[in-house]
Amino acid sequence: MTPSARPQGLTTWAVLAAIALLFAAATPLVLALDSRIDRTRPMHHDRVEMLWLQHLAVQTTGGSVPVELSDDESVELAGETFTPSEGVSVEVRADEPTRPCVRTSNEHGDVTEWACLDPAAPPADPDPEDPDLGVG
């Protein structure tokens, strides 16, 4: 049988089978990536929230507050109590009083990059629906 005489349906099924095998092979990788994203999400959220609170502290008191917190500790900043998410540690360094830098890590060894406050471009409010977190 010549290639031009090969049944069209057989070629279509071969292509579909190859695509199915490709998806089956990629599934474990996608699930592993999804799991990593899920486990790092709380530390990224905590970093954003702490940077916002440090921004509020700079706005209200003129300076940031250096802290090192684990998930069982709390700190009060700008009138708000902050407690890291379960398994997350938060570190704030304030080499310059108005430019704090925040880094978070988790119990799995994941660590975020330092996020530093830029007074010229303040961070976005992580919870714009909460009127208590606004600068006023």
- pLDDT at residue 93, as a whole number: 96
Q: Is residue 64 classed as helix, strand or coil in its secondary structure?
A: coil
The string of pLDDT tens digits covering residues 53-109 is 999 999 999 999 999 999 889 999 989 999 999 999 999 999 998 999 999 999 999
Tokens coding 17: 């089978």
Q: Is residue 81 classed as helix, strand or coil in its secondary structure?
A: strand
- pLDDT at residue 21, as a whole number: 82
pLDDT for residue 112 is more than 90: yes
Tokens coding 34: 């999804």
Which residues make Cβ contacts (< 8 Å) with residue 130, sequence separation at least 6? none
